[in-house]
């Protein structure tokens, strides 16, 4: 067998810019894999790949790798209630509800500032809809929180998915409001931390460099030591949820 060294396969070496200048990285090294994943993420953002996916017939605006990871998380964690902020067409709500159907347990609450008529119709007429409650309103409004809380019974375990307005301030406010719903061992998933990575991509915006959910997560973790990043759900490497799977720690007994 021919030995596969970088010298024999020059296309396995890619040039990267670092603070110390340009250097070559082997795509088969862990560093090279991360570089390729970042390049692919930036390129797919420009192609709006996450708008191409449906779940059981309903558009779901997620990266396929993140859908897989969230599926693992829900199956493993088996929450009584999943709250999603930011419904859009409803594909993720249907994903969570279909998992609940297979697990034989769980309900889903979807919150959106505007639930369009045809989206509501598609969600409410879907076979998985019996598990779903829709709430129209801003995710940070007191009335929305009251409506969510009224649908959760004492002692029920809750998982929260934050995928609405992706500004730093909004996500930071959501984290503060929704974190108290999470019990020890429970999770909040924050979507679209990819924004700083694609700020200078063709469909990105320079302001995303600092105004993004990742900054909100960093701020939140500084004052909430009872939450930690579970990076095992980032192992696909291509993800829009960098540092986005937040687990509430279980106090030592």
Ligand X SMILES: C[S@@+](CC[C@H](N)C(=O)[O-])C[C@H]1O[C@@H](n2cnc3c(N)ncnc32)[C@H](O)[C@@H]1O
Residues that bind ligand X (CB under 6 A): 60-62, 84-89, 91-92, 111-114, 138-139, 163-165
**C-alpha torsion angle, residues 53, 55, 193, 246 (rounded to 10):** -160
DSSP 116: -
CB of 89 to ligand X, least distance (A): 6
Determine if residue 180 is left, alpha or beta; phi over 0 gives left, psi from -120 to 50 gives alpha, anything else beta. alpha
Our CB check for ligand X shows the closer of 25 and 204 to be 204
Q: What is the DSSP secondary structure assignment for residue 86, as one 8-state letter?
A: -
Closest approach, Cβ 123 to ligand X, in A, equals 11
> 144 and 135 in contact (C-beta within 8 Å)?
yes
| Choice between 157 and 164, CB closer to ligand X | 164
Least Å distance, CB 138 to ligand X, is 4
Distances (CA, A) of 191 to 7, 115, 153, 200, 207: 40, 19, 26, 19, 18
Instruction: Pull the structure tokens for residue 215.
Output: 């900054």
The whole-angstrom separation of Cα 60 and Cα 252 is 38
Q: Which is nearer to ligand X, 60 or 177 (CB)?
A: 60
- Minimum Å gap between C-beta 235 and ligand X is 21
If the CB atoms of residues 162 and 182 are measured against ligand X, the closer one turns out to be 162
In the bound state with ligand X, the residue whose beta carbon lies nearer, of 88 and 148, is: 88
Beta carbons within 10 angstroms of residue 236's beta carbon: 14
As measured in angstroms, the least distance from the Cβ of 7 to ligand X is 45
* Distance from C-alpha of 166 to C-alpha of 192, rounded to nearest angstrom: 7
Nearest-approach distance from CB 196 to ligand X, in angstroms: 17
Please report, to the nearest 10 degrees, the dihedral formed by the alpha carbons of residues 132, 134, 140, 146 taken in order.
-80
């Amino acid at each position: 067998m021919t030995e596969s060294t970088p010298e024999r396969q020059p296309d396995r070496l890619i040039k990267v810019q670092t603070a110390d200048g340009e250097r070559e990285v082997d795509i088969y090294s862990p560093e090279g894999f991360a570089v390729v994943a970042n390049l692919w993420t930036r390129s797919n953002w420009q192609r709006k790949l996450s708008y191409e996916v449906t779940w059981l017939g309903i558009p779901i605006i997620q990266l396929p790798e993140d859908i897989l990871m969230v599926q693992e998380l829900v199956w493993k964690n088996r929450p009584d209630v999943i709250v999603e902020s930011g419904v859009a067409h409803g594909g993720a709500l249907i994903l969570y509800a279909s998992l609940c159907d297979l697990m034989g347990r769980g309900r889903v609450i979807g919150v959106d500032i505007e639930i369009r008529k045809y989206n509501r119709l598609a969600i409410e007429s879907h076979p998985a809809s019996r598990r779903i409650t829709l709430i129209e309103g801003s995710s940070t409004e007191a009335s929305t929180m009251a409506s969510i809380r009224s649908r959760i019974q004492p002692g029920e375990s809750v998982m929260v998915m934050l995928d609405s307005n992706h500004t730093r301030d909004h996500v930071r406010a959501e984290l503060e409001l929704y974190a108290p719903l999470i019990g020890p061992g429970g999770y909040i998933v924050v979507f679209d931390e990819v924004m700083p990575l694609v700020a200078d991509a063709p469909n990105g915006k320079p302001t995303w460099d600092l105004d993004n959910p990742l900054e909100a997560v960093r701020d939140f973790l500084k004052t909430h030591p009872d939450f930690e990043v579970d990076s095992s759900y980032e192992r696909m490497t291509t993800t829009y949820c960098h540092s986005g799977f937040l687990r509430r720690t279980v106090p030592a007994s």
